[in-house]
């Protein structure tokens, strides 16, 4: 009875199954509570709200934290039905370090830190930590999860682009400092100060608080502005391509995957996870076999046999 109850609770909390009424109620209830709590925090910054409805706003936070804490404890209690987290201690620790569960902890941790260490409240911006609760919406929003998957799939390209922007920013700010520091020592007193101008120019915002006055400085500024227009279009293009690929994968999955009946236990979640990992490993083995032996063997069957051998070796070594 206990195991079946755990499995059912785990399914409700983890699956976000649109066909499961209780799962949908959980998703909507937690999402609405997050939005209500964050809205109360925002309204509390108003002097009128703070002076007249302070007690009501504090009660909203207490209710939200109590619900989030209870939900977090229930998650740790029922996660052991998943074979990936079956161990009563290490399994729960492993589950607690998964990204979505870490976000759940971050949603309640600031409240307890401020409760245990009241001096934290005196630190400026400490209350802003309550906004971390917005991250809980990631668990219940397919759109936000899609964005994270796109960023994860394109992280190498995005890192390369950001690194290029950073190098260009340092280079341009240094040139502008040497070109303008004598004419405008108060506007360009150092290279770090000139980097503010570089950021504003690269992003084509142009606040106008700092600008070059020398011919050489104007030339550098105009050149950097044109470069910024094209350079900052790169991340947008990369993310757009990632979205297109993600949507294409979802369409293919919908067309090729058979309709799976409603799952009655959490074990099939682990099976699906294992199959996904295995398919990724097999894909890597096929690509490696083609790269390493494609020139030596023209027969596709030999390449497939080599890929299968690599997969079996990887499965034994890493216990896939």
CB-CB contact of 224 with 198 (8 Å): yes
Pinpoint the residues of the chain covered by CATH 1.10.287.70. Answer: 147-318
Domain 147-318: give its CATH architecture: Orthogonal Bundle (1.10)
Q: Please measure the distance between the N-terminal and C-terminal CA atoms of the chain and give it in whole angstroms.
A: 31
Residues 176-224: tens digit of each pLDDT? 999 888 888 888 999 998 999 888 888 877 777 888 889 998 898 888 8
Q: Find the helix or strand (DSSP H, E) in which 58 lies.
A: helix 54-78
Residue 314, φ and ψ in degrees, nearest 5: -65, -40
- Give the residue range(s) of CATH 1.20.120 domains in the chain: 5-140
Per CATH, is 5-140 categorized as 1.20.120?
yes
User: Which range has the worst mean pLDDT, 152-161, 201-210, 239-248, 264-273?
Assistant: 264-273
CA distance 10 to 266: 7
What CA–CA distance (Å, rounded) separates 19 from 17? Answer: 5
**Lowest-confidence range among 32-41, 49-58, 140-149, 285-294?**
285-294
Give the model confidence (pLDDT) of 81-133 as tens digits.
Answer: 888 888 889 999 999 999 889 988 988 988 898 888 878 776 666 677 778 88
pTM (2 d.p.)? 0.62
Q: Report the C-alpha gap between 165 and 237 in whole angstroms.
A: 15
């Amino acid at each position: 009875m206990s195991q079946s109850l755990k499995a059912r609770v785990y399914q409700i909390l983890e699956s976000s199954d649109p066909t499961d009424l209780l799962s949908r109620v959980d998703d909507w209830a937690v999402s609405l509570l997050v939005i209500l709590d964050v809205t109360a925090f925002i309204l509390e910054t108003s002097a009128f709200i703070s002076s007249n409805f302070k007690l009501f706003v504090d009660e909203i936070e207490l209710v939200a934290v109590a619900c989030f804490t209870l939900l977090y404890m229930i998650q740790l209690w029922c996660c052991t039905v998943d074979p990936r987290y079956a161990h009563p201690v290490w399994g729960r620790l492993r589950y607690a370090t998964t990204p979505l569960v870490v976000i759940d902890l971050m949603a309640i941790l600031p409240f307890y830190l401020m409760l245990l260490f009241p001096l934290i409240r005196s630190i400026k911006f400490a209350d802003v930590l309550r906004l971390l609760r917005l991250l809980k919406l990631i668990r219940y929003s397919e759109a936000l999860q899609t964005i994270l998957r796109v960023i994860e799939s394109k992280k190498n390209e995005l890192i390369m682009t950001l690194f290029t922007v950073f190098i260009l920013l340092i280079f341009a700010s240094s040139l502008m400092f040497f070109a303008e520091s004598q004419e405008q020592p108060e506007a360009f007193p150092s290279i770090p100060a000139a980097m503010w101008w570089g950021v504003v120019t690269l992003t084509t915002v142009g606040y106008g608080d700092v600008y070059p006055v020398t011919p050489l400085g104007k030339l550098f500024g105009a050149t950097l502005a044109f470069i910024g227009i094209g350079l900052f279009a790169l991340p947008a293009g990369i993310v757009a391509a990632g979205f297109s690929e993600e949507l294409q994968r979802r369409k293919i999955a919908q067309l090729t995957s058979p309709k799976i009946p409603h799952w009655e236990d959490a074990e099939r979640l682990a099976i699906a996870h294992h199959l996904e990992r295995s398919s990724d490993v097999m894909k890597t083995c096929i690509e490696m076999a083609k790269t390493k032996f494609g020139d030596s063997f023209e027969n596709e069957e030999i390449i497939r046999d080599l890929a299968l051998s690599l997969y079996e070796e990887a499965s034994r070594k890493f216990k896939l």
